[in-house]
Amino acid sequence: MFKKELVKICKERGIDPESINVCVSIVTADEIRALKKQHLGLDVYTDVLSFPMLDLKKGQIPTRELFPLDFNQETRKIELGDIVINEEELDKPALFIHGLLHLLGEHHK
């Protein structure tokens, strides 16, 4: 569903898109609100959440050598983390990009 966006963002950053794995979940507004409350302590509406598995710095390329414990032997890919998207906002591919950028170490200023 978001393959085109994943490939574009990875290639712009010098990352082989076939070397990483991202889990995407589509949930209801109530579910994503509950996740935001549980993990961030904020009981408010949101459109996307990211749960990174790696402590990537902006511009850092995730490799097996840097993150050997996050290399999935079955898929032969680095597990970046999870992106959770509110089902009411699926028409906005920028939300996936926003979540992916967080997984890649880019954060709000």
Reported confidence tier of residue 12, pLDDT bands at 50, 70, 90: very high
Mean pLDDT, rounded, for 50-64? 91
Class of domain 3-103: alpha beta
For 15-54, write each residue's pLDDT tens digit.
999 999 999 999 999 999 999 999 999 999 999 999 999 9
Query: What pLDDT band is residue 109 in, cutting at 50, 70 and 90?
Result: low
Give the C-alpha separation, 102 to 94, whole Å.
Answer: 12
Give the tokens for residue 41.
Answer: 């302590």
DSSP H helix total and E strand total for the chain: 3, 4
Q: What are the pLDDT digits (tens) for 67-78?
A: 988 899 999 999
